[in-house]
Structure 1
Amino acid sequence: MKDRLTELEIKTSLTEDLVDELNRTVYRQQQQLDLLQAQLRHLYGQMLTNAEPAEPHSLRDEIPPHY
């Protein structure tokens, strides 16, 4: 009985360590996601700022000159 209790305590301790490590991993990944989203918003804002209005063009302008 005592051996079984000791084994369960060891398993519980290892499980707690694993859960703590997984929590730290999830936290770091969330920080990375937040940073990537902020960078994406920044790039999107730059794209909108630098975007020139598209001029209408004819498909005939895209025909190669040898036609």
Structure 2
Amino acid sequence: MAVTEAVEERIAHLIRAVDDLSDVVARQDREITQLNRRVHMLMEREAEREQMAGEAPAANQPPPHW
């Protein structure tokens, strides 16, 4: 009987670990989705700002001493 109880206890611990990991993965998925939305929004804002400025991005311009 002790072996059965030990196995059941181990299974209970493993189920708890899987549930905890599932919660972590779900939270990370929500965070990644939110971060992707924010990055997309920032990229659109920057593209609009560059378009309004009518010039190339600073990374594409030679330094002033050239």
TM-score of the superposed pair, with normalisation by structure 1: 0.79
Distance 1:15 1:41 in 2: 39
Letter in 2 for 1:20: D
Instruction: Select the structure of larger CA radius of gyration.
Output: 1
Mark the runs of 5 or more structure 1 residues left unpaired by the alignment.
none
The alignment yields a C-alpha RMSD, in angstroms, of: 1.9
* 1:11 to 2:7 alignment: no
Match of 2:42 in 1: 43
Unmatched 5+ residue regions in structure 2? none
1:38 deviation in Å? 0.2
Query: Matched residues, percent identical?
Result: 17
Deviations 1:20-51 (A, max 9, x none): 00000000001000000000000000000001
Stretches of 4+ moved more than 6 A in 1?
none
Cα separation, 2, equivalents of 1:7 and 1:58: 70
Relative to its length, the structure with more helix (as a share) is 2
Bigger relative contact order, structure 1 or 2 (CA pairs below 8 A, ≥6 apart): 2
Instruction: Tell me the TM-score normalized by structure 2.
Output: 0.80
Number of residues paired by the alignment?
A: 59
